A and B are shown apart, each in its own frame.
Chain A
């Protein structure tokens, strides 16, 4: 491979990491509270609100039903409003984040669901406020599950970011398509795939390690 090819790969790897990390971070920031909200507003929970719960649930489901490649172009006006442009790597972060938030929310809701309801009751019997129950009981107890969910989200984002090429987002997937498929450069194609495999492995094993560190149930 030429020096140019290496440069291309390096740049694309950086773009993938940039898109995954920023959209991952933002989706945790918004998705986890949304997941908490989905959990606590369910009937019988600490802040039950069936109306809010069904509205949030419906929005989450609707967002998750839109194929990512359609979401990518459908929200171009929103993207332009938020980052000033609708093309490029930074612009791709908006649809990636938007797609990941409901995904993270459902995963967070599931992880919190695994916390035995007896713990909530114990906290209530100690006079805990709903906010304290969330911050001192639900989130710490759900931490291993949340970390697992974040790992899954990051891996999913790596593969979603491949589609960002459609709006000029760059990244490894885009490089693979443009050079490998459209210009018949098999070596570049193979290189992008190998790098993606390594990247996903690294994310997964880091996530597993972190999860193990926090899991005190074993």
Chain B
């Protein structure tokens, strides 16, 4: 539904050229929820703003619903934008308009009649749970309600694509969850393709089907979300996954940490379980079978794409051969990675 081909954006600042986006190739399948994650300054916002040409790329193509937007005239582009809804971190609602009037704005701009507007806006108020806020002004709403208005407004012109630029970054965790649930509903019920830009791994974990990592203007990794969590390829990806599972070193162990094994050191491993692995008693089985002991340093179970995924950090104690054997046993059943040694 969205194809970015060799997308490059160069900003000129004070005689210096800065490449905000460097030959990005990205393809968002129809009906999916696609996440682009990156640290601040990675070029995320520039990327999403290129999709509806709020930012004109220096080179490359932006194809949305089979139409190359970069070749369109001003008028053609405005027409194409009716097909692309967008929501923002700071909502960008008109303070002088009521909830109803805000949602009606894109329809007014397209020249819809009063009746057409009424028929289109009422179901959107219902979808976003704003029926009783119809005549309120944005200043009377909470952050979550404002983003709901913005979502309803973005959907008013019945777009095929919804762009979300850090849409939950200004919201508290609970509100974030409810907004993400709403986006998921919209994706499923209205079959709208969603492209999400975020710096929060939780967002990707909760609703995205696929994810791409943007770093210094380049796409460095792209995968299905589940595979991404199981097997991140780049350091940055591993860091994002660790942030999502809230992994942090245990103070008592950290001071004894070493990257290489030495005489009498014990391995610390990260074990990732998916699906059935989460409920199978693998650790106790290994302990019984090989006589090894396990010190649990960290444990977490997350829901990724509706599936449970367990993350466990353990220190394995025992004779070298026993430790080897139990690691081999675990590797046959789950993802296991040696992250270091303690002595």
The residues of A with any CB-CB pair to B shorter than 8 Å are 116, 118-119, 121-129, 132, 136-137, 140-141, 143, 214, 216-218
Contacts and interface: CB of A to CB of B under 8 A. Distances in A.
A136 B109 contact: yes
A216 B54 contact: no
Contact of A127 (B92, B95, B109, B163): B109
29 contacts: A116-B92, A118-B88, A118-B92, A121-B92, A122-B86, A123-B105, A124-B54, A125-B54, A125-B81, A126-B81, A126-B106, A126-B109, A127-B77, A127-B79, A127-B106, A127-B109, A128-B78, A128-B109, A129-B78, A129-B109, A136-B105, A136-B108, A137-B94, A140-B94, A214-B96, A216-B96, A216-B138, A217-B139, A218-B139
A126 B153 CA distance: 9
B97 interface: yes
Interface residues of B, number: 29
B54 A121 contact: yes
A126 B105 CA distance: 9
Contacts, number: 66
B95 A216 contact: yes
Given A136-B105, A218-B139, A126 B92 contact: no
Main secondary structure of the interface of A (DSSP, over half): helix
A163 B95 CA distance: 41
A210 to B, nearest CB: 14
A143 B88 contact: no
Nearest to B98: A216
A143 B96 contact: yes
Contacts of B134: none
A2 to B, nearest CB: 52
A122 B105 CA distance: 10
A119 B54 CA distance: 13
B172 to A, nearest CB: 21
Contacts of B137: 216
Given A122-B92, A140-B94, 7 more contacts: A116-B90, A125-B85, A126-B106, A126-B153, A127-B80, A127-B106, A216-B96
B95 A118 contact: no
Interface in B80-137: 80-82, 84-86, 88, 90, 92, 94-97, 105-106, 108-110, 137
